[in-house]
Chains A and B, each alone.
Chain A
Amino acid sequence: MSKLFTALPSLQFRLMPEDASSISGRVDALYYFLVAVSTFFAGLIFVLVLYFALRYRHRPEVQQPATSHTGNLKLEITWIVIPFVLVMIMFGWGAKLFVEMRTMPPDALEVFVVGKQWMWKLQHPNGRREINELHVPVGRPVMLRMISEDVIHSFYVPAFRMKQDVLPGYYTTAWFEAQKTGRYHLFCAEYCGTEHSSMIGQVIVMEQEDYQRWLAGGDTERSVIELGQELFTGKGSCRTCHSPDSGPRGPDLTGLYGTTVHLQDGRKVTADENYLRESILRPGNKIVFGYESLMPPYEGQLSEEEVLQLIAYIKTLGGTEAAPGSPATRPAREPPTTAPAAMQPTSPSTQPAGARR
């Protein structure tokens, strides 16, 4: 107990968390609006209840006159319409801000986040890694591409009013733009087992120059894309089957990212990060039209970090190596408009994917 009391006076008492991102002040403004509306209605109800309870308290000496105040349509409509209008304002305001929170800025710095019981592993574009700490520059949008190795975690920085669950098997993204230098709490907000409350860290917001210095300070030799390229040609031996001259062995990946892919079973999917990840780890789930299921699954062969690096490299195949002016969807891969049944090859186990809609 002595520990308790000695600790108390030194603590500052505050009602609001730090306001350190481009969005935090705007979330607080909405919060204050909600507090105001709630305080008004709670106050109104408490005052009315208290007033009525005192004003109309039972008095034995007074025979209470019979009343007929047992319903009033206008009143009912009033207290349906006013709250309805108010909650629709809350909805609209909250939704508008939410859409901004969920719309990734195009020029953001992309940082990879891998959560596992019970630590955060992060990697910057230049290849520098850190654990439970994230160094970012002030005034620059930072986008997190996140995945978990095991259970569900949640990346939460209260000072940025930012939170996003980190799922196994599926990338989620989030972004923030820090506006004040300093050190801020990073919490795992989704219960993830024994040491959940120790899965914490810090986001360190630095001035641009300090950040650049910090970035260069690691023993990093290769950038994320270079690491991905190395995997593509080396350990993963992807190049063998996925190059412009690989023919029927496998589809060429040049310019693939962001395009629509036609699948053997007639579905169309967008070649985004989650599709690429699934096609690396479980290629049998989605067979590209016109190809056979030849590729072995890489699940268990590559770490989540390696998959992220590979994808980062594959994405560069689109912009830099694709011939200028090449169409977004490549006609060669498109199925005929009426695909004859005989053309559907018997592909083994095209089970429904674990990917989400």
Chain B
Amino acid sequence: MTTIPIDEPRIEQHSNYLTNGYSVKSWLLTTDHKRIALLYLITITLFFFLGGAFAVLIRLDLMTPAGDLMRDETYNKMFTMHGIIMVFFFLIPAVPAVLGNFLIPLMIGARDLAFPRINLLSWYVFVIGGLFTLASVASGGVDTGWTFYTPYSSTYANTHVVLAALGVFITGFSSILTGLNFIVTVHTMRAPGMTWFRLPLFVWANYATSLIMILGTPVLAVTIVLVAIERIFGVGIFDPKLGGDPLLFQHLFWFYSHPAVYIMILPSMGVISELVTCFSRKRIFGYGFVAVSSLLIAVYGFLVWGHHMFVSGQSVYAGMIFSFLSFFVAIPSAIKVFNWTATLYKGSISYQTPMLYVFGFIGLFAIGGLTGLFLATLAVDVHVHDTYFIVAHFHYIMVGGVVMGYLGGIHFWWPKITGRMYPEGWAKLAALIIFVGFNLTFFPQFLLGYLGMPRRYHVYPEEFQILNVMSSAGASILGVGYLLPLVYLFWSLRWGPAAGPNPWAAAGLEWQTSSPPPTENFEKIPIVTQEAYAYSEGSGFPVSPEADYKEGGSPVVHS
């Protein structure tokens, strides 16, 4: 695999979506879902590394109990900006806006999304929201925490709350437009024969995500406007001194922000379903259960917001109901993990990079999901609420889940997106480093949390130092893991071997067109006769990804 003979297939010279115009204008005014996906890819990568830089500073500062690196104000701004940027500008858009945008039309056999211009608009809205947020960083930052809890945010904070909130508000519309576009596309633009239960699970997952986006995001938008109104005009909504109710904010905020966790994780779960089948050469185990569990997670997600408020002063009965309902989310999550595991059974498993990310995802999601049970359990949550236990838990679920799914997906579809292969050895190394680094960073935080270290603490008692140093050491490893793909994926754009249309001998529709795909996706709209996981029983695959790779991915012929 180290040397590629000179007469290997090259990037095909036929016109594809990348060669369809080279001017800046051809990119900035494109309505091609694939180009828009790349615009998102570039934007969210920038935000990811900016948010990551804040994380580096946070972890450096927490090396010592006294927090010697920065002042209280600075530290508070660091974790706030880290949270806002990572949540709203990376975790939420990462998989849907990049991979979803690129793949949904290809996967369902359509030439584009239903509203190509709205799709472009949603990227512009995203960028404008991002600029507002960056403006709040540049003008001195904001220190409310990404949760904007009132009345601190609405009355007491002396930082640029309105500017940052406006950024989040605007970006929300980008989510809404993308969700709308996906839903309409899936309903109206499926190729002939692409029935609902032949849809790839990635499409199901994005469909469920889109429902949350269009139902939940407006609530966040309204909430943020209310905070701004109270802050600017002094109208009493949340601050009791003005006659408001501080808990009202928490109800409204978590009504969106709890489902938002599923906006982040569901598309990643969709990615995992695609990867696990391809690298096991097997149909997904329990397709119907995996598909419907996405919808169940989306629905339950709207019923559990109060589990963020067990110690907030919410009534005991409300706490019990929200605890009860929260446990229901465990079931569809368990269904997914067990079905992925069962998919491996009697498969033909190969360990390319995307599959390593599948293993990584299952590992991190299992830990993140199971620790979620601790938080749904009322009496235990009283102790660990607002401690590092929570920090560890949501990093495992949200960050672990999204990063594993996103990077796994980026590697899997990189040959489709760029027409070139990434360097496998480096990619495997990076996947391993990220997994190890992630666990070293965040596992000690579970222990810190149960010991009682509160989150958002700049200065902490000395007995918490060892675990904090361990966490910071892990973060340095994790940082290296994140930088590696940035380097070698860039490298592969120029020097990566040509991939051919289907280097993984995968069965999905997106692999039946050339790599990179033509602007119109398919020369002829395909007629679908089977689902995307037709790997077993007579689908006639040579089942040898390595061999296929070496041959430059000659198109696989169906029997």
Q: Is the CB of B285 within 8 A of A69?
A: yes
Q: Is the CB of B385 within 8 A of A189?
A: yes
Q: When the two chains form the complex, which single residue of B67, B320, B386 contacts A95, counting CB atoms closer than 8 Å? A: B320
Q: Is the CB of B349 within 8 A of A163?
A: no
Q: When the two chains form the complex, which single residue of A69, A96, A168, A190 contacts B241, counting CB atoms closer than 8 Å? A: A168
* B366 contact set on A, CB distance < 8 A: 41-42, 45-46
Q: Is the CB of A31 within 8 A of B450?
A: yes
Q: Is the CB of B331 within 8 A of A356?
A: no
* A282 contact set on B, CB distance < 8 A: 243
Interface assignment of A16: CB less than 8 Å from any CB of chain B: yes
- Which stretch in A75-83, A221-229, A329-337 binds the other chain? A75-83
Contact code string A46-58 (vs B, CB < 8 Å = 1, else 0) = 1011001100111
- Which stretch in B17-25, B179-187, B259-267, B461-469 binds the other chain? B461-469
Q: Is the CB of B451 within 8 A of A354?
A: no
Task: Give A31 Cβ to nearest chain B Cβ, in Å.
Answer: 6
CB-contacts of B76-102 with A (<8 A): 76
Q: Is the CB of B324 within 8 A of A11?
A: no
Smallest CB-CB separation from A44: which chain B residue?
Answer: B341
Smallest CB-CB separation from B147: which chain A residue?
Answer: A191
Given A80-B335, A197-B457: A56 and B349 interface contact (C-beta under 8 Å): yes
Interface assignment of A319: CB less than 8 Å from any CB of chain B: no
Q: Is the CB of B348 within 8 A of A64?
A: yes
Q: Is the CB of B152 within 8 A of A151?
A: yes
Whole-angstrom distance between the alpha carbons of A56 and B279 in the complex?
11
Q: Is the CB of A94 within 8 A of B385?
A: no
Interface assignment of A345: CB less than 8 Å from any CB of chain B: no
Q: Is the CB of A193 within 8 A of B537?
A: no
Q: Is the CB of B327 within 8 A of A56?
A: no
Q: Is the CB of B282 within 8 A of A11?
A: no
Q: Is the CB of A76 within 8 A of B376?
A: no
- Which stretch in B39-47, B216-224, B518-526, B540-548 binds the other chain? B540-548
Interface assignment of A165: CB less than 8 Å from any CB of chain B: yes
Q: Is the CB of B311 within 8 A of A154?
A: yes
Interface assignment of B492: CB less than 8 Å from any CB of chain A: no
Q: Is the CB of A193 within 8 A of B335?
A: no
Q: Is the CB of B335 within 8 A of A79?
A: yes
Contact code string B297-322 (vs A, CB < 8 Å = 1, else 0) = 00000000000001111011001100
* B316 contact set on A, CB distance < 8 A: 98-99, 102
Whole-angstrom distance between the alpha carbons of A37 and B373 in the complex?
10
Q: Is the CB of A4 within 8 A of B456?
A: no
Interface assignment of B69: CB less than 8 Å from any CB of chain A: no
Interface assignment of B289: CB less than 8 Å from any CB of chain A: yes
Given A17-B452, A354-B243: A7 and B327 interface contact (C-beta under 8 Å): no
- Which stretch in B165-173, B244-252, B481-489, B507-515 binds the other chain? B244-252
Smallest CB-CB separation from B239: which chain A residue?
Answer: A168
* A188 contact set on B, CB distance < 8 A: 454
Interface centre among B243, B289, B382 (most CB of A within 10 A): B382
Interface assignment of B27: CB less than 8 Å from any CB of chain A: no
Interface assignment of B477: CB less than 8 Å from any CB of chain A: no
Interface assignment of A346: CB less than 8 Å from any CB of chain B: no
Q: Is the CB of B341 within 8 A of A193?
A: no
* B269 contact set on A, CB distance < 8 A: none
* A37 contact set on B, CB distance < 8 A: 370, 373
Q: Is the CB of B152 within 8 A of A152?
A: yes
Interface assignment of B197: CB less than 8 Å from any CB of chain A: no
CB-contacts of A168-222 with B (<8 A): 168-170, 172, 185, 187-198
Contact code string A139-174 (vs B, CB < 8 Å = 1, else 0) = 000000000001110101011011111011110100
Q: Is the CB of B466 within 8 A of A8?
A: yes
Contact code string A83-106 (vs B, CB < 8 Å = 1, else 0) = 110011011011111110110000
* A57 contact set on B, CB distance < 8 A: 348-351
* B378 contact set on A, CB distance < 8 A: 94-95, 97-98
Whole-angstrom distance between the alpha carbons of A163 and B310 in the complex?
10
Whole-angstrom distance between the alpha carbons of A198 and B239 in the complex?
24
* B387 contact set on A, CB distance < 8 A: 158, 189
What is the interface size of chain B, counting residues whose CB is below 8 A from a CB of the partner?
Answer: 109
Q: Is the CB of B287 within 8 A of A70?
A: yes
Whole-angstrom distance between the alpha carbons of A198 and B543 in the complex?
61
Contact code string A63-77 (vs B, CB < 8 Å = 1, else 0) = 110111111100110
* B349 contact set on A, CB distance < 8 A: 52-53, 56-58
Interface assignment of B476: CB less than 8 Å from any CB of chain A: no
Q: Is the CB of A56 within 8 A of B344?
A: yes
Q: Is the CB of B543 within 8 A of A58?
A: yes
Given A8-B466, A158-B383, A196-B76: A49 and B313 interface contact (C-beta under 8 Å): no
* B330 contact set on A, CB distance < 8 A: 83, 87
Interface assignment of B72: CB less than 8 Å from any CB of chain A: yes
* B313 contact set on A, CB distance < 8 A: 164-165, 167, 170, 172, 356
Interface assignment of B362: CB less than 8 Å from any CB of chain A: yes
Task: Give A133 Cβ to nearest chain B Cβ, in Å.
Answer: 16
Q: Is the CB of B543 within 8 A of A64?
A: yes
* A46 contact set on B, CB distance < 8 A: 363, 366
Smallest CB-CB separation from A13: which chain B residue?
Answer: B466
Given A67-B346, A94-B323, A152-B246: A7 and B382 interface contact (C-beta under 8 Å): no
Q: Is the CB of A49 within 8 A of B452?
A: no
Q: Is the CB of B285 within 8 A of A71?
A: yes
Whole-angstrom distance between the alpha carbons of A48 and B337 in the complex?
11
Q: Is the CB of B281 within 8 A of A64?
A: yes
Smallest CB-CB separation from A46: which chain B residue?
Answer: B363
* B196 contact set on A, CB distance < 8 A: none
Q: Is the CB of B359 within 8 A of A53?
A: yes
Q: Is the CB of B323 within 8 A of A189?
A: no
Whole-angstrom distance between the alpha carbons of A6 and B344 in the complex?
49
Q: Is the CB of A168 within 8 A of B334?
A: no
CB-contacts of B527-541 with A (<8 A): 536-538
Task: Give B359 Cβ to nearest chain A Cβ, in Å.
Answer: 6
Whole-angstrom distance between the alpha carbons of A56 and B349 in the complex?
6
Interface assignment of A235: CB less than 8 Å from any CB of chain B: no
Task: Give A256 Cβ to nearest chain B Cβ, in Å.
Answer: 23
Q: Is the CB of B452 within 8 A of A38?
A: no
Whole-angstrom distance between the alpha carbons of A176 and B56 in the complex?
39
Interface centre among A34, A67, A94, A172 (most CB of B within 10 A): A94
Whole-angstrom distance between the alpha carbons of A163 and B384 in the complex?
9
Interface assignment of B429: CB less than 8 Å from any CB of chain A: no
Contact code string B41-78 (vs A, CB < 8 Å = 1, else 0) = 00000000000000000000001110110001100100
Q: Is the CB of B383 within 8 A of A161?
A: yes
Interface assignment of B374: CB less than 8 Å from any CB of chain A: yes
Interface assignment of A325: CB less than 8 Å from any CB of chain B: no
* B490 contact set on A, CB distance < 8 A: none
Interface assignment of A12: CB less than 8 Å from any CB of chain B: yes
Q: Is the CB of B362 within 8 A of A45?
A: yes
Q: Is the CB of B327 within 8 A of A58?
A: no
Q: Is the CB of B286 within 8 A of A154?
A: no
Whole-angstrom distance between the alpha carbons of A13 and B444 in the complex?
12
Given A4-B63, A58-B349: A193 and B152 interface contact (C-beta under 8 Å): yes
Q: Is the CB of B373 within 8 A of A34?
A: yes
Q: When the two chains form the complex, which single residue of B327, B461, B466 contacts A90, counting CB atoms closer than 8 Å? A: B327
Whole-angstrom distance between the alpha carbons of A164 and B382 in the complex?
8
Given A4-B64, A67-B282, A163-B386: A75 and B331 interface contact (C-beta under 8 Å): no
Q: Is the CB of B327 within 8 A of A168?
A: no
Q: When the two chains form the complex, which single residue of B144, B156, B370, B546 contacts A38, counting CB atoms closer than 8 Å? A: B370
Interface assignment of B380: CB less than 8 Å from any CB of chain A: yes
Whole-angstrom distance between the alpha carbons of A98 and B367 in the complex?
24
Whole-angstrom distance between the alpha carbons of A93 and B469 in the complex?
35
Q: Is the CB of B350 within 8 A of A58?
A: yes
A to B CB contacts below 8 Å, 18 in the list = A11-B466, A31-B374, A53-B349, A53-B359, A58-B545, A59-B348, A64-B348, A64-B543, A68-B536, A76-B289, A97-B378, A98-B316, A150-B151, A168-B240, A185-B452, A191-B152, A191-B456, A193-B143
Closest 5 CB pairs of A and B: A169-B240, A158-B452, A94-B377, A98-B378, A97-B379
